[in-house]
Each structure stands twice: as C-alpha cells, then as structure tokens.
Amino acid sequence: MPILRNEIGDVLRDARLLQGKTLRDISSGARVSLGYLSEVERGQKEASSELLSSICDALDVPMSAILREVSDRFETAESLENVAVMPSIPDTVPELLSSMRAR
Amino acid sequence: MPILRNEIGDVLRDARLLQGKTLRDISSGARVSLGYLSEVERGQKEASSELLSSICDALDVPMSAILREVSDRFETAESLENVAVMPSIPDTVPELLSSMRAR
C-alpha cells in the first residue's frame, strides 16, 4: 500500500511539472526553502497542513483537487491490492495431485 | 479556508462515530495512545502518514475514502469562499451616488 506523503509528493510534483514551473518558482511562492519543498515532493518530509496549503496556493491548484488526485491514486492501489490477495485458481491439475491419482 | 488536519480529524471522528466505536476501540486497534488519537481527531496534532494508515486500518475504511471525503469538504469550502469574494451588486442606488445626482 502506498505511503500518503509519497503520493502527496508525487501529485505536487506532477502539478508543478504540468505547469512548467521549477522548484524555485514554487518554493519562493510558498515561502518554503527549495530543499524542503524538494524533500516534500520526494516523500521524505511530511508537509504540515499550513505548508501544504501554501504550496497549493503557489501552484494555484485548490487543495480539494490535490486531495482528490491523491485519493484516486490510493483507490487504484487498493483495487490492485485486492486483486493480489485473491486466491489463484490453477487451470491445470497440480503435479502433486496428478501423481497421487497415478497411484 | 479550512485547515487540513482539522478536516482529517473531523472525517476520522465521523467515521468512528458512524460505526459506534469508542476512542479506546480505535486507539487500541491502531496502536496509538487514546490521548494522541483524540488530539488528531480534534485537529490538534498532524497525523503522520503511517499513523493515518493505521487509523484507517483500525476503522476498516480505505485511505482513499477518507481522503475523498476530506477533498469533498474542501471543495464545498472553496466554492463558498468563491461566493464570498464575488463582488456584491447592490440592487439600490448607493446613497452617495443618489446625492451626487441630486445636485
């Protein structure tokens, strides 16, 4: 299952790159150091509520849109995880069973 | 504009109360102290990604659902804020203008 701060970081970076903005553009707009913003984008730091709000403002993207995108990515991961835990149904008779029958 | 940790706290508490669970039920399930969980629910502490994940597990609610509900609440607040900043269009002639015309 993904880690929330990684997904938030990915979504923030994707939004920034989509706008053709640099880390410097957004860090100065959000009044956060470039290094810290970079760590948030790479999921190495948890952004506080206030910082996340400032980054959204600097990106001019509503918080709701960032959270919705993060939610969508979790939903995809959750559905994939459900598939992964489904019991696999073999479509051939296992070798062990075959050999038992042979006796 | 709302603060993210407040909205997350509200959504977590609402989910817990909807299930008729106590703080004790969820705090023991999520292996977090009852006091800390209570602070998270009241928006007094930022929950780490790992803690939020544990609380979701204890509630048996997917992270995506919590985030979607938080996103929806932000969207509502954002649309209300847009209404609030719309210029008000008076349906009567302001007194100052009336008096200027009177001259």
Per-position pLDDT tens, chain A of length 103: 899 999 999 999 999 999 999 999 999 999 999 999 999 999 999 999 999 999 999 999 999 999 999 999 999 999 998 777 666 655 655 554 444 554 4
CA distance B43 to B40: 5
Q: Which residues of chain B have a pLDDT value below 50?
A: 96-99, 102-103
pTM of the model: 0.81
Interface of A with B (CB under 8 A): 1, 3-6, 46, 48-50, 52-53, 62-65, 67-68, 70-72, 74-75, 78
pLDDT, averaged across chain B: 89
Q: What is the length of chain B?
A: 103
Q: Which of B49, B52, B67 sits opposite A67 (nearest CB)?
A: B67
Position A97 scores a pLDDT of 46
Cβ burial, residue B70 (10 Å; 0-12/13-18/19+)? buried
Q: What kind of architecture, by CATH, is found in domain A4-85?
A: Orthogonal Bundle (1.10)
ipTM here: 0.81
User: Three-state SS string across chain A, please?
Assistant: CCCHHHHHHHHHHHHHHHCCCCHHHHHHHHCCCHHHHHHHHCCCCCCCHHHHHHHHHHHCCCHHHHHHHHHHHHHHHHHHHHHHCCCCCCCCCCHHHHHHHHC
Residue B51, φ and ψ in degrees, nearest 5: -65, -40
Q: Which of B49, B50, B67 sits opposite A71 (nearest CB)?
A: B67
**CATH says B4-87 is which class?**
mainly alpha
Element (H, E) at B68: helix B63-85
Residues of chain B with C-beta less than 8 angstroms from the C-beta of A5: 49
Position A82 scores a pLDDT of 79
Whether B68 sits inside 8 A of A68 (CB atoms) is yes
Position B26 scores a pLDDT of 98
Position B95 scores a pLDDT of 54
- First and final CA of chain A: distance in angstroms? 45
